[in-house]
Structure 1
Amino acid sequence: MNDPSDSPPPLPAHDCERTYRQRVRRVGLRSFRVVCQETDLMVQADRLLDDEAREQVLVCRGQIDGYIKRYPAFAVTLEPWREQAFAPEIVREMIAAGTAAGVGPMAAVAGAVAESVGRRLLDFSRDVVVENGGDVFIKTKGPVVAGLFAGRSPLSMKLGLNVADSGDGIALCTSSGTVGHSLSAGSADAVCVVSHSCALADAAATAIGNRIRSAKQIKAGIAFGQQIAGVMGVVVVAGREMGVWGQVELVPLKGKKG
């Protein structure tokens, strides 16, 4: 772990919530929040689907919590978990994502829940955006721009990732060592990973972020991310420095200078 004196303390969640939750806005969609125990989602859809989203959150949490009751170590391990064929689907997705990225399965939980809820809501809405703690599942018929939130970095919310075609669904998952309370061994202001799997993007962002303790490690962190099967693109921000690789189109955000 890096010495706390080397970098500013993490931004508390209440200071950054308004900023990061404004990252994705799709014109014409209805926005609503779904809170269920520790899960806190911001959802956009063709219409309000609070009940449907909450029901799917409960399904996800029930499967994950049930598995943890049987295998308590699943909740705390920082190492890849052995595959188990009888595990619930969302748990298997977390296991596979953690194994691919070389981290524990809980590193993929926020992304896995976001995608599970998003795909369920596609039964009721043509367009869906689900954000879960900085991890975003997107399935829309038109382009979407997601702002890049990077805490105190001067690059934060100056640029956005343009998703011209989400296809069957795409994930933009972000990990940070300086924002909020997420567990990270690094100090990058933001590591954003693009993938068709939200669980994988979440786990990969954590794994890459663990390797970046200063701007000097940006190149090595991105090189590591390139080796993770299923990762389509990576953006890393550390202070005033940024590194980009893969299927990523950065665009300036309107009203932002710099």
Structure 2
Amino acid sequence: MSKRVLITGGGSGIGKAMAQAFAVDGARIFVTDMDEAALAQCPNSWLKMTGDASDPEHMRAVFACISDEWDGIDVVCANAGIAGPTALVEDVEPEDFRRCVAVNLEGAFLAAKYAAPMMKAQKSGVILITSSNAGINGFPNRSPYSSAKWAVIGLMKTLAMELGPYGIRANAIAPGCVEGPRIDGVIAREAKAKGTTPEAIRAGYEAGVSMRSFVSAQDIANMAVFLASDGARLVSGQVIAVDGHTENPDPKV
């Protein structure tokens, strides 16, 4: 029977790559995103819902639809997230900090909260949370983002403990720098803050990675499909970095 897979933040980037990879694997797909135009570009065969992953009412509606359409859920990819501000901690506005944490952390919490009863009832399921190597190493000038990505690892490990007795696994994927518009924006903002060029910042990031390379959204999607498979049936409570091995999380530029 084909897997029933929900991906939050699935309209573009890593989330869409995950959805496409699971679809190729034969899964039924449900994607949510705040970007209605991005969702409109997704295949019509996918279930879709526009909304904010950190909004409890939206997430309640998502899982009500899942219950009606599928009567259960096999895989939840809590992927929705935002980059947050790029600034020294003393220059970060409290509301910007809260918003970044809300989307990245509370969005994952809500996905797990509403998935857990369904998965417990069927005594199976996989919850995958998108963290970051910023959630392993820290990230200067990105305190809201790094804080949230550290926090989702604590959430994931607790889910693995609470839900493991019901046959449910939880893991986190920690991407490195993923090629695409989001990291381009981060690099541009950091270059401005440091008074240098985006090219210099990019070179510094690459120099801090053993494999001297950024990763692709497909690399992350491939890991998600594996972690949701029977090949990873006893992998739970783990943080899996897909980053080419970060040696230095704060390369000096």
Q: How does the TM-score come out when normalised to structure 2?
A: 0.30
Q: Normalized per residue, which structure has more helix?
A: 2
Higher strand share: 1
Normalised to the residue count of structure 1, the TM-score between the two structures is 0.29
